[in-house]
Amino acid sequence: MELYHLKTFITVAEEGHLTRAAQRLNTSQPAVSAHIKNLEEELGLILFTRTPKGMRLTEEGSVLKTRAAEALSMIDNIRDQAGVLKEEVTGTLRIGLHIDPRYLRIDRLLSYLQRAHNRLDFHLLQRWTWQQFEDLTKGRIDAGFVYGEPPHGDITAMLLKRCNIRVVGPVAWADRLSGAGWKEMAAMPWVWTPPNCTFCTIATEAFEKRRLKPVKVTIADQEPVVATLVTSGIGLAIMIEDEAMEYKRAGKAAVWKEVVGTIDLNFVYHRKREKEAVVCAAIESVRAVWEH
């Protein structure tokens, strides 16, 4: 029995779909199907029921998934312990980023990691906050930067900074914004974000509190896209104060006078992985960068 067979088995069970599992494993769907078939033949059991919607674990598959996860966890622990014994951390550290890396001190973080753990590879992955919580649970990333609190206790949050939230608009709208109240702001066009986005929640609550409904002209699902649409004259949006004021200083955007709210910038990781060498290296490095 090969370890990659077990990894494929667990990934298919978590995704419930061969194509999504193949994408997550960076391999082809036929390869994933072959791994599952080989494992079923070796065990003499049917692990999945194939349905029009995807792959569903059989009763036997559910039992063996738990054992397979324990086996892979044991292998990871052995590797981590070996790294500790060698006094070095190896492998790949996947970190989720939800905003422009400049506001997350990524340059300083990578410099520290390269000095302290030069055998470690780093992958920086752009994700919304809500996507990262799911990715941490499914093991797609090792840690990440997010806004707000985790949705459940399995994810640990390290508070880095409390940020003010401001409204930004096209620089040509500066005069309109300077004298606008909430009613006037609601009547202007807005670049909105998806429902799962923390900024969407903050903006929605702010307008509902005042019994107003903003004019949403588009929804953008990436932070850089939101900024581009604002600076190109499409509409208003909200962002953290540091970012908003930088756009204002650069002459690319106007900033409304009011602070809409506050939000916590957190570094997050899965609680069950907090003793793994790669995750420990990330936690240590983030603390070193953000506490000074």
Paired strand residues for 251: none
pLDDT score at 85: 44
Q: Which of 62-66, 87-91, 269-273 has the lowest mean pLDDT?
A: 87-91
pTM: 0.67
Nearest to 174 by CA among 220, 230, 241: 230
Determine the average pLDDT of the residues in 21-25: 89
pLDDT score at 84: 53
71 pLDDT band (50/70/90 cuts)? confident
80 pLDDT band (50/70/90 cuts)? low
d(CA 126, CA 100): 9
Percent of the chain past pLDDT 70, that is, above it, reads 96
Q: Which residue has the higher pLDDT, 70 or 133?
A: 133
d(CA 77, CA 253): 50
Give the strands of the sheet with 143-147, arranged side by side.
Answer: 120-126, 91-97, 143-147, 253-270, 155-170, 237-240
Output the CA torsion sign for 279, 281, 283, 286: negative
pLDDT score at 88: 64
d(CA 49, CA 99): 40
78-107 b/e (C-beta count within 10 Å ≥ 16 → b): eebeebeeeeebbbebbbbbbbbeebbbbe
Within 8 A by CB and 6+ apart from 212, the residues are 182, 183, 186
The structural domains of the chain, ordered by start, are 3-84 (1.10.10.10), 95-156+269-290 (3.40.190), 162-265 (3.40.190.10)
In the predicted model, is pLDDT for residue 120 greater than 90? no
pLDDT score at 291: 85
Percent of the chain past pLDDT 90, that is, above it, reads 60
Q: Which residue has the higher pLDDT, 175 or 91?
A: 175
In the predicted model, is pLDDT for residue 64 greater than 90? no
d(CA 194, CA 279): 29
d(CA 65, CA 85): 30
In the predicted model, is pLDDT for residue 69 greater than 90? no
Within 8 A by CB and 6+ apart from 34, the residues are none
Angle at 215 between CA 213 and CA 220, to 5 degrees: 115
